[in-house]
Structure formats: structure tokens, C-alpha cells
Structure 1
Amino acid sequence: MNAESENAPDLIYGLEDRPAPVAAVFAALQHVLASFVGIITPPLVIGSVLGLGAHLPYLISMALMVSGVGTFIQARRPFGIGAGMICLQGTSFAFLGAVLSAGFIVKSRGGSPEDILAMIFGVCFFGAFVQIVLSRFIGRLQRLVTPLVTGIVITLIGVSLIKVGVTDLGGGFNAPDFGAPRNLALGALVLVTIILLNRSNRPWVRLSAIIIGLAIGSLAAWFSGKLVPQPLPELPLISLPIPFRFGFAFDWTAFLPVALIYVISTIETVGDLTANCMLSRKPIEGPSYVQRLKGGVLGDGVSCLLAATFSAFPNTTFAQNNGVIQMTGVASRHVGLYIGAILFALGLFPLLGAVLQQIPKPVLGGATLVMFGSVAAAGIRILARAPLDRRSMLIIAASFGVGLGIAAQPTLLHELPKIVQNLFDSAITCGGLTAIILNLVLPLEQANTAARTGAETSEPL
């Protein structure tokens, strides 16, 4: 470890530290296990809803493979593309509504599954350029994306993800035994194990906390009968990526909702990158911070471009991996290279992914619950750094009220046009837009403006 990590007692490995291969693989596996279900779930949902079952194995393989390449780019930062941090790229849930809407447009016209995929990947391909262009103007958008706004967005991301973690802990969406005592006990066992191991003073124990927790939970699930190993499906040994395998199509009606979600995804990415900078003990203001944001958002856009080209749905920087960084104390970007290689291998050899899919949902839920909570805590930490005057508290209150209100009552907008539902049926979207709009229209209090100006001129960049 170098001076960077020694000056940050919470970190075992700082951003530029190079862990030994064994330590790096352990850290990388925990990121992969934390995100694996999140990467493959959107293809599963989209495939089942649009009737794409015959193509699902290939879609899942490409999702994993593209996530690996995108994660590698973010960590390696070639030609300034990427943030140079652990920014695991995964299939974005935010695009589900818009992607399904595009699929239904083709389906209503009598299109085949191949026609549906051609339309989806066509509009997503052009939509990726929205994010690529926005990445070049991140510095000028700082009035829109202030620490107050990013803190609100990160907190909403964490709170929204907590619902996913709790659902898994209970047994999974629509599980027949949802909330069964056995499920709750397994989730609690994993949760408690990770918390106790994370408090250890031994770096190796803390580094392995999530893997050990998942292993203990899986073992307990096997003894209790919850984990019954299933025969592996008949899958090809290798899945090779083929550009535009299903063709290419475009429709403005399908494109506009997707383009707007790319804008929202950019705001989410800025929030995730800010949390990552903070956890990695890097500045969250100044020129170096802006350069990381530019590279990170550009990396997201390039990852989405690759995704559309190779039959994967749009990617984004996964917030839960900030929770893994906080839990393990490993912020080394070199671990991101290992993560990328592992994900690529999982996509290239689909049988490996089929094995990981057998981990019971309650076991995964116990692990992800604490990590998603860490994301929300990171958002609160950023909010605590902002001047919490009357104006700021009003923006926070309104944004949380709108965002969490949508999350608490998801059918609120279902009487409105479908396009409105697709765009705003999300706590992150509604709460984030509320924060941005109020931050623009509400005047700054004069005393706060003077204090902030004085702080900016006195702080070295």
C-alpha cells in the first residue's frame, strides 16, 4: 500500500494501489457477486415480457460480456474514456419502461422477435450519443449538478435499491414463499455475517466479508433445503459477440423516451461517480473532479454504444459497487480490470453464469441490503457537506417527497399517457428532476452565496 491508502484509514487499497493478484481477485469477485443478478435481470424481464425466450441465453451472455468491457474501460481509462475508478458497468433498470415501449410498438405492428430487437438496439445505439455529447459539457452543467443535487440523487438511488434488496431477502419478486421465516433467517444470517466480518481489524477478513457471507448463506440454504442444485441447462460452450446480429431499425416515437432516459442516466452517473470519488478519497470539486466526471460519463456512453452494437441493453455505472468499496475498503482501480475480465469470461462461457444463478435470492438479498444502504449513506454524507440552509432544506424536502412518494405509490401516474409513465415512473427520475428544477429557480440566500464564494476562492483546486 502507498501513502494514498495510509492517509485514508478506511481504505485497505487506495485508488492507485496495486493489490496482489489473489487479493485483487477476491475483491473483484465480491463486486461481481453484488452485481451479477442486477446485470442479468433486465434481459430476463424484457425477454419474458416481449416473448424473446429463444434469444435469452444470448442476450444474457452479451449483457455480461459488454458489462465486462465497459468496466475495464472505466478502470483503464484509455484515451481519456472512463473515470479511472472502479465503475462497474451493468444493465440499467432505468431503461426498462422505454425499452419495453419500443418493443411493444414493433409487436403491435406484427413484428417478429428479431424485428423487436432490431428496433430496440437501433434506438439505443443513437441514444448513446446523447450521453456522449453531454459528457463534453459536464463542467458547464455544474450549476445543474451541484453537491446538493448529487447528494439527493445518490440518496434516492440507495433508497430505491433497498427495496430491491428487501424483495430478494424475502425470496424474490412473486416468490410463492415470499417472507417465509426460512428466507428471512437466511438473509439475516448473511447480513449479520457481513457486518461482523467488516468490523474486523484484519484486512483479509474485511476484504472477503461479502464472499464469506454469501458462502455461509449458501451453505445454510443447502442444509435447510432452500438451495437444491439444478441440472445445468444446455448452453453453447462459447457465446461469440456478433455486431447487430438482429439487424438495425429506428423510429422517432421509440427514440424520444429512450433519449430522455439517457439524460436521466447521466445525472445518476454523476451522482454515482461523486460517491465513488468520495469513497476513494478523491476531490468532489475542482478541475480533477470535473475531468473524472467527463471521462466517467463518456465511458458510460461508449459502454452503451457497445451494448447496442453487440445486442445488450443500455448500461450504466452500478451504484451498489460503491457499497462494496465502502464495505471492503478496496478502491484500487486495478481491481476494476479484474472485474471486467471476470464478467467477460462469464459472458463468453455462459455455463459459469448459470452456476451463479443458483445462489438463492434470500442469500443475495442479505448481502445487497447492507450495500444498498451504504449507497444511501454516501448520499447523506454528501448532503451533510452542503450548506443546509432554509433553501437547501426546502429542496431536499420537496425532492424526497416527490421521489419517495412515487416509490411508495407506483400506480400514481398510471392514468396519465404511457409516455409520461415511462419517463417519470421512477423515484430517481422524479426526485432528481425536482431537485434540479428547484435548484435553478429558487434564489440563493445572500449570506450563503457570500460564504460559498469566499470558500471557493480560499480553497486550493
Structure 2
Amino acid sequence: MPSDKPNDLLYGLEDHPSPLIAFCAAFQHVLASFVGIITPPLIIGSALGLQEHLPYLISMGLMVSGVGTVLQARGALGIGAGMLCLQGTSFAFLSAVLAAGMLVKQRGGTPEDILAMIFGVCFFGAFIQLFLSRCIGLLRKVITPLITGIVITLIGVSLIRVGITDFGGGAQSSNFGAPIHLALGTLVLGVVIALNRSTQPWLRLSAVIISLAIGKLAAWLSGVLDPKPLPALPLISIPEPFRFGFSFDWTAFLPIALIYLISTIETTGDLTANCMLSRQPIEGSSYMTRIRGGILGDGVACLLASVFNTFPNTTFAQNNGVIQLSGVASRYVGYYIGGILILLGLFPILGAIFQQIPKPVLGGATLVLFGSVAASGIRLLAHCSLDRRSLLIIATSLGVGLGIANQPTLLDQLPHLVKSLFDSAITSGGVTAIILNLILPDDKPTLASTTQHADAYLESKTRP
């Protein structure tokens, strides 16, 4: 039975819901996160020509997300926050991962070479997060909510280009921007918006899945989708450590290292919001223990992701909205979520089915997801003190980041290492924000209080 609490939680952090209630709550979390987990592999695989490996990559993404969620819920040996924190494939790394893959592709590398490089640099990058989990207090004095908001905005804006390219049919499409492509993308986009405005919680939670299903049906009826026989796949995906090999390159590593730094700060905000929703302290020793454990859990999940051939993980923010919606914050629900995700990941046929989603359909859905990332960054910035100093940092960082992204030849005459590091909006704009935040004098404290930081994340990320 739920505890007697003076708040709107039905089941608190240490309560034990019945198996049926726990499964239903877990299923809501899976609905809210499933598309988010499988979409990064779909985008990366499509952009880098990795289609033959996509079913396996998706399976491993689901399995590692399940294991990471269990680690977060259990919190054993200091690994994990001991809360209902769902782990999933991170969108924040997309641009840096694609850049690393393109680096190998331009050198004439095979799909296996591309994956070996991506997983190699992500493997070493995970140690950055493991290290940062031990000194999170110092880090938060350097990376403030202002910087986090700038970088999240840049990530979202950078990814919107990927979404709008798919919306038009994909970069390799012979009839990019064809009316039928735009119509399919618009249909999916409209369904996502309509379902998100529904008063039925389950419709909002499953809006992306329903819109993809409707879009795929419309694509089939219009002749855009020509269903192909599913490839011969093993019945069950067996995790194989470093299946594609292992390689490393500094020019590919450093942008990913910066994203690990930013991802750590973002995870701090997400965990703080989770503490507030779970009615746990947001200051003091127990709070810092949860934050350190949660970031350590993120790092371990990222390490497992690299070893078992999938992309970096993070604590999903949207699942805080499910906690708020359902009133179930019990960490034991995390075991059910992990079990469902691992079970889904065992069957590679699932990835093969999703691989056949037409690009305009996928673009219509991801356009909203990527726009939501940018909107979260903007909302976080709105909760910062926007004085002249802050506005100057925002303006300069966005100007540098988006300017370089829209004029990539600007750095062509600089050394190759410099161009590789700073030719993305995230790295150039993020580094600019960090440097300006350190060197520009500020009469007021540079670090917002823990509560202010949590409120900003809670406001920007937990609304259903």
C-alpha cells in the first residue's frame, strides 16, 4: 500500500507497488522513451550508411538502456542515484558522433571502421564522466545554468537540420523536397502536435509512436514505402564486446569529450528535478550522494554502451514528466522498466522493422523532438538572470556557434585539428560560452543556487 504522504505522490521512492501497478507505470515510461532510445541509432545509421548493422545497434541500445536503468534504480556500490531514472541513448552526442563517423568515411573507411572509431572515442570519453562524478561540486561552479542552456540550445538547433533533411526525403534522395515527402512529414508533424494537445495522458505519452505508425501507413498507401522482405536475422541478439573493433583519433575524441562534460551538467539538473518530484532533499549530503551516484551511473552506462556497441547513454529528462503525471516515484519500478527494455532488445527483428520507416515520416517526428531540445535550452536560459553580461555571453556564443555551422568553410585555412574541433556549433559555441563566463567579471555570484537550478530544469523538462 502507498505511504501516507502530504503530497500528490501515490507511491514514494521506497514504496513497493503491486506487480500490476509497477508494470503499468513501467510501461508508461517505456512508451515515453522508446522512440527516443531508437531514434539516434536510426539517424546515425542512415547518415553514415550503416543500414546493415542497424538492427543490432538498436537491440544493443535497448539492452544497455535497460541495464543502466536498473543500475540507477538499485544504487548499489555508489553506482546509480537510487531513484527512478530511466537511461536512454542521448541525442546530445548526435552531432559529435556524426562528425567522428564522417571523419572515417571521408578517409574511405568501411562501416565497421566507422563504428570502431565511434565506440573507441566514446569509450574513453565515458571516463571523463566517471571522473566528473567525483568532483561535481567544483564543476558546477564552472559550468553554470547559463552555459548549460546555451549548449542545449545549440544542440537542438544543430539537430533541427538533420530533422528537416529527413523531412524532405533525406540527403541522398533523388527527389528531395517532393510534394509527397513534404505531405508525409507534415502529416506526422500534425499528428504529434494534435496528440500532445490531448487531455488523455496515454495519448500524449505515445504521440510519437502513434504518429510514426500513421505516417508509415500513409507512406505505404501513397507508394512512398515499398516494404522489403525483412533480412535474415538471428532470433536473439547476443551482446559481443567490441564487435566492430576499436580505434581512436584525437580530432574525433575532443568534441565528444566536450559533450560528456555538458551531458554531466545536464544530468545533474535532471537528477535534481527527479529529487524534487520524488520528495527527496535537494541539498545536503544525501542529495550530493545521489547526484554523484547518478552521474557515476551515467558514466558506467556509457562505458557499457561503448563496449557493447551502441551510443552514449544519459538520464532521460522526459521521464520526470511521467513521474509527475502518474504519481509513482518508486525506484522499484525501474527494475520493471529495465526488464522490459532488455526483453525488447533481445529481438533484432524489432530494429529491422523500424529501419524501414521512410525518411519523411521519421523527419516529421524528429523535427518536434529536436525542436523540443532547443526549446528546453531556451526555457532554461529564461530562468537565468539575463543581465548585460549574460546577454553578451549568449549573443556571442550563439553567434560563433551558429555562424560557423552555417559557414563551415570559415576554418578551412586553419590547421586540420583546429578545424575538426571547432567546425560544429556545439563545440565552438560551447567553448566560447565557457571562456567568456570565466573571464568576464561579474558583480553577482556566478552560480545559481541549487534550488534555482532545479526549478529551471523542472520547469523546462518535466511538463508532460
The TM-score range, normalised by the shorter chain, is 0.7 to 0.9
After superposing the two structures, state which structure 1 stretch, 112-121 or 65-74, moved more: 112-121
**Equivalent in 132, 157, 160 of residue 158 of structure 2:** 160
Structure 1 vs Structure 2: percent identity of aligned residues?
54
Match of 2:307 in 1: 309
- Secondary structure of the residue aligned to 1:233 is coil
Task: State the shift of 1:286 in Å.
Answer: 4.2
After superposing the two structures, state which structure 1 stretch, 64-73 or 199-208, moved more: 64-73
Quick check: 2:305–2:313 contact (8 Å CA) kept in 1? no
Match of 1:258 in 2: 253
C-alpha spacing 1:31/1:144, structure 2 compared with 1 (3 Å): same
Match of 1:148 in 2: 146
Partner amino acid for 1:34? Answer: G
- Paired with 1:370 and 1:205, the residues of 2 have a C-alpha distance of 16
Quick check: 2:28–2:322 contact (8 Å CA) kept in 1? no
- Paired with 2:205 and 2:47, the residues of 1 have a C-alpha distance of 33
**Equivalent in 421, 424, 431 of residue 422 of structure 2:** 424
Partner amino acid for 1:304? Answer: C
Quick check: 2:65–2:87 contact (8 Å CA) kept in 1? no
Deviations 1:239-274 (A, max 9, x none): 21233456667x6xx257525622432213423552
Q: Aligned runs of 1:406-417 on 2, under 5 Å?
A: 406-417=404-415
**Equivalent in 168, 176, 184 of residue 178 of structure 1:** 176
Deviations 1:208-241 (A, max 9, x none): 3233222222222222222232100111222212
Match of 1:398 in 2: 396
Deviations 1:352-388 (A, max 9, x none): 1101112222222222222222222222222122111
C-alpha spacing 1:43/1:195, structure 2 compared with 1 (3 Å): closer
C-alpha spacing 1:431/1:259, structure 2 compared with 1 (3 Å): closer
Partner amino acid for 2:410? Answer: L
Match of 1:270 in 2: 265
- Secondary structure of the residue aligned to 1:370 is helix
Residue 363 of structure 2 is aligned to residue 368 of structure 1? no
Match of 1:39 in 2: 41
**Equivalent in 214, 217, 221 of residue 215 of structure 2:** 217
Task: State the shift of 1:396 in Å.
Answer: 0.6
Quick check: 1:154–1:268 contact (8 Å CA) kept in 2? no
Quick check: 1:275–1:378 contact (8 Å CA) kept in 2? no
Gaps of 5+ in 2: 456-464
Task: State the shift of 1:398 in Å.
Answer: 0.7
Partner amino acid for 1:21? Answer: F
- Paired with 1:198 and 1:246, the residues of 2 have a C-alpha distance of 39
- Paired with 1:450 and 1:101, the residues of 2 have a C-alpha distance of 37
Quick check: 2:275–2:282 contact (8 Å CA) kept in 1? no
Q: Aligned runs of 1:15-94 on 2, under 5 Å?
A: 21-22=23-24, 24-42=26-44, 58=56, 61-83=59-81, 84=83, 85-90=85-90, 92-93=93-94, 94=96
After superposing the two structures, state which structure 1 stretch, 147-156 or 277-286, moved more: 277-286
Match of 2:97 in 1: 95
Q: Aligned runs of 1:223-242 on 2, under 5 Å?
A: 223-242=221-240
Quick check: 1:127–1:255 contact (8 Å CA) kept in 2? no
- Secondary structure of the residue aligned to 1:235 is coil
C-alpha spacing 1:212/1:54, structure 2 compared with 1 (3 Å): closer
- Secondary structure of the residue aligned to 1:412 is helix
Match of 1:441 in 2: 439
Partner amino acid for 2:265? Answer: V
Task: State the shift of 1:392 in Å.
Answer: 0.6
- Secondary structure of the residue aligned to 2:141 is coil
- Paired with 1:302 and 1:451, the residues of 2 have a C-alpha distance of 28
Partner amino acid for 1:203? Answer: P
Partner amino acid for 1:315? Answer: P
After superposing the two structures, state which structure 1 stretch, 68-77 or 262-271, moved more: 68-77
- Secondary structure of the residue aligned to 1:88 is strand
- Secondary structure of the residue aligned to 1:143 is helix
Task: State the shift of 1:334 in Å.
Answer: 6.7
- Paired with 2:90 and 2:148, the residues of 1 have a C-alpha distance of 20
Task: State the shift of 1:442 in Å.
Answer: 0.4
- Paired with 1:194 and 1:400, the residues of 2 have a C-alpha distance of 29
Deviations 1:175-203 (A, max 9, x none): 22322222222222222222222222232
Quick check: 1:213–1:367 contact (8 Å CA) kept in 2? yes
TM-score, normalised to structure 1, is: 0.78
Partner amino acid for 1:215? Answer: A
After superposing the two structures, state which structure 1 stretch, 38-47 or 216-225, moved more: 38-47
Q: Aligned runs of 1:117-132 on 2, under 5 Å?
A: 121=119, 124-132=122-130
- Paired with 2:442 and 2:241, the residues of 1 have a C-alpha distance of 50
- Secondary structure of the residue aligned to 1:317 is strand
Number of aligned positions between the proteins = 437
Task: State the shift of 1:433 in Å.
Answer: 1.3
C-alpha spacing 1:38/1:113, structure 2 compared with 1 (3 Å): closer
C-alpha spacing 1:392/1:291, structure 2 compared with 1 (3 Å): farther
- Paired with 2:375 and 2:152, the residues of 1 have a C-alpha distance of 9
C-alpha spacing 1:172/1:392, structure 2 compared with 1 (3 Å): same
C-alpha spacing 1:162/1:72, structure 2 compared with 1 (3 Å): farther
TM-score, normalised to structure 2, is: 0.78
Partner amino acid for 1:28? Answer: V
Partner amino acid for 1:264? Answer: I
- Secondary structure of the residue aligned to 2:234 is coil
Task: State the shift of 1:102 in Å.
Answer: 7.1
Match of 2:461 in 1: none
Quick check: 2:400–2:429 contact (8 Å CA) kept in 1? yes
- Secondary structure of the residue aligned to 1:243 is coil
